[in-house]
């Protein structure tokens, strides 16, 4: 019997919404896959390309960035910048054929515990199916 | 059709005569252009303030010792120029300078921007071994005929933005049959016209991009797709193959006009190997590369600047192990620029893509 692949996922969660959403998901005892390591950031726009690339280069199989819905940013416009940065990085990965679907940006509010659980579970399942990242376990990067 | 000044000398001499007139008449206090260091063929960008020194200026010499955008930024980053200066720089250098001004790394105040319709530059290595000089006759000929000279940098051969977009004065050079005996200074802006008043030459009106330039544009576009096909950066395999020889000298970054950060995160100790990672990383990865993070450096730098890449080719030119850095960054840059409908150096008022946003864009992102 082959062992099931357990992905190594990194989640950068906005302190004001998605992190609270994750809290709510936990408080309401929703089932969440344990493969996501959460990093709490003050805003989704704090997540620059280097944070995502570091995670990938250091062995993550997928990176989830979660922030407030457009219009709801605690700092009013941070998530709009985050969205642009994400689009930019995604295009870079696409143009280099680096499996761009291993990074995902999702809007999750503080009230959306269920959405948080669904997104994390779906993401974990998607990456499990994809298998290990080509950048993972690579001593030459 | 824009106004122009016709001179009955070849283009390089024409520009020099014009600069001399500007200096002598006191319309400018200085000239910023390429200047011969001595008779070895080495050139550097210089701020020239006397007519005697101007004698050794070579404004259209097909060499790029440094991206002039970066050089002009050095001159104007702390304070705008107080006296008028005429600067001669190539279209990609002008785009670079525009990008730097946007990033508050320089000022266009008091600058008269003069830029040629560019036929490309030779690799820097040919500056002192004399090989560029031997190729000058064929360079002038292929320029006149609107052909790509095989000796110029690869990125110059593959450049389709060879007509300066926002110069005050454009020097008609590449693709003009008459440049051997005469030249046109096209006065693109009222500022250009103002400075050209009283200058030697006869006023005319000329087309900035006449039909005779079309074959050159087509040839360059075709070369561009060839160059992009030649590089192999597809997937982890291709990337490692292409970037494996990287020494980590960061030369590409230091000559890049867009990479302006005083302390780059990749030059800092932030991503150096730490004692704990020397223990933990081999355990999880089965080994560790020393130095680590070569590919990470290139991808990280790409995420920072490729959207503003002006395709000047400096990075490829200085790479000691001949990695086609500029080719890769231009290929990615082209795609990024399409996403954001951004053209580097198009407009000094236009914001850098990562520094602005629209509320109703990228609607699909974030919803999944």
Digit-coded pLDDT (tens) for B259-300: 999 889 998 888 877 787 777 777 777 777 777 788 889 999
Strand partners, B27: none
Co-location of B235 and B221 in the same domain: no
Of B303, B358, B362, the CB nearest to A89: B303
Q: Tens of pLDDT along B192-227?
A: 999 999 999 999 999 998 898 999 999 999 999 999
Taking Cα atoms as reference points, which of A104, A113, A109 lies closest to residue A16?
A109
Position of tokens 């390089």? B12
Taking Cα atoms as reference points, which of A59, A123, A57, A120 lies closest to residue A93?
A57
Q: Which token pair is B85?
A: 């200066």
Distance from B187 to chain A by nearest Cα, in Å?
37
pLDDT interval class at B127 (50, 70, 90): confident
Of B239, B281, B299, the CB nearest to A53: B299
Co-location of B172 and B265 in the same domain: no
* A-chain residues near B300 (CB < 8 A): 49-50, 53
Is pLDDT of A139 > 60? no
Query: Does residue B366 fall inside a structural domain?
Result: no
Co-location of B271 and B287 in the same domain: yes
Distance from B332 to chain A by nearest Cα, in Å?
6
Q: Which token pair is B295?
A: 């590919």
Categorise residue B101: left if φ over 0, alpha if ψ from -120 to 50, beta otherwise: alpha
Position of tokens 């995670």? A55
Query: Does residue A2 fall inside a structural domain?
Result: no
Position of tokens 């005892």? A29
ipTM > 0.90, yes or no: yes
* A-chain residues near B368 (CB < 8 A): 104, 106, 119
CA distances from B211 to B5, B50, B178 (A): 20, 39, 14
Co-location of B294 and B185 in the same domain: no
pLDDT of residue A138: 60
* Residue bearing the bigger pLDDT, B286 or A141: B286
CB B73 within 8 A of CB B108: no
Co-location of B75 and B181 in the same domain: yes
Of B198, B225, B252, at which residue does a domain stop? B225
Cβ contacts below 8 Å, chain A against chain B, sum to 120
Distance from A28 to chain B by nearest Cα, in Å?
22
Query: Does residue A4 fall inside a structural domain?
Result: no
Range of the domain at B334: 231-355
Range of the domain at A15: 9-130
CA geometry: angle at B164 spanning B82 and A92, to 5°?
A: 105
Is pLDDT of A97 > 80? yes
Q: What is the mean pLDDT of residues A103-125?
A: 97
Is pLDDT of B124 > 50? yes
Co-location of B246 and B201 in the same domain: no
Domains of chain B: total = 2
DSSP A10: E
Co-location of B103 and B215 in the same domain: yes
Is pLDDT of A140 > 70? no
Of B225, B255, B274, at which residue does a domain stop? B225
CATH number, domain at A36? 3.40.50
Domains of chain A: total = 1
């Amino acid at each position: 019997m082959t062992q099931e692949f357990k992905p190594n996922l990194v989640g950068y969660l906005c302190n004001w919404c998605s992190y609270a959403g994750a809290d709510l998901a936990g408080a309401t005892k929703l089932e969440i896959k344990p493969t996501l390591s959460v990093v709490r950031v003050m805003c989704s726009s704090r997540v620059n390309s280097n944070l995502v690339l570091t995670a990938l280069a250091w062995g993550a199989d997928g990176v989830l960035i979660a922030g407030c819905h457009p219009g709801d940013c605690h700092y009013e416009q941070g998530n709009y910048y985050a969205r642009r940065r994400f689009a930019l990085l995604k295009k870079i990965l696409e143009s280099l054929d680096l499996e761009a679907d291993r990074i995902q940006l999702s809007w999750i509010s503080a009230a959306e515990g269920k959405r948080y659980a669904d997104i994390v579970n779906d993401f974990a399942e998607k990456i499990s199916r994809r298998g290990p990242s080509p950048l993972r376990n690579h001593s030459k990067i | 059709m824009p106004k122009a000044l016709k001179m009955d000398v070849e283009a390089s001499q024409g520009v020099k005569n014009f600069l001399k007139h500007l200096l002598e008449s006191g319309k400018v206090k200085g000239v910023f252009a390429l200047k011969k260091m001595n008779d070895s063929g080495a050139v550097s960008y210089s701020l020239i303030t006397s007519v005697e020194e101007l004698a050794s200026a070579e404004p259209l010499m097909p060499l790029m010792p440094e991206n002039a955008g970066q050089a002009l930024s050095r001159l104007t980053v702390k304070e705008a120029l107080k006296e008028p200066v005429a600067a001669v720089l190539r279209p990609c250098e002008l785009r670079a300078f525009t990008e730097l001004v946007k990033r508050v790394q320089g000022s266009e105040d008091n600058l008269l921007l003069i830029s040629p319709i560019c036929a490309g530059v030779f690799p820097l290595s040919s500056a002192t071994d004399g090989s560029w000089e031997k190729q000058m006759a064929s360079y002038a000929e292929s320029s006149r005929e609107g052909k790509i000279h095989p000796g110029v940098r690869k990125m110059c051969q593959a450049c389709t933005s060879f007509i300066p977009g926002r110069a005050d004065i454009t020097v008609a050079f590449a693709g003009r049959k008459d440049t051997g005996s005469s030249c046109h200074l096209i006065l693109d802006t009222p500022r250009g016209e103002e400075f050209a008043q009283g200058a030697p030459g006869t006023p005319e009106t000329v087309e900035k991009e006449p039909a005779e330039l079309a074959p050159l544009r087509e040839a360059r576009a075709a070369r561009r797709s060839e160059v992009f096909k030649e590089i192999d950066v597809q997937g982890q395999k291709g990337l490692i193959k292409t970037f494996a020889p990287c020494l980590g000298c960061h030369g590409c970054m230091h000559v890049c006009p867009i990479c302006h950060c005083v302390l780059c995160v990749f030059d800092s100790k932030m991503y150096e190997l730490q004692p704990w990672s020397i223990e933990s990383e081999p355990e999880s990865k089965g080994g560790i590369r020393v130095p680590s993070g070569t590919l990470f450096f290139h991808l990280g730098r790409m995420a920072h600047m490729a959207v503003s890449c002006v395709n000047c080719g400096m990075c490829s030119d200085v790479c000691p192990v001949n990695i086609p850095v500029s080719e890769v960054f231009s290929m990615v840059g082209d795609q990024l620029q399409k996403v954001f409908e951004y053209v580097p150096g198009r407009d000094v008022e236009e914001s850098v893509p990562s520094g602005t946003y629209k509320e109703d864009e990228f609607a699909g992102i974030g919803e999944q």
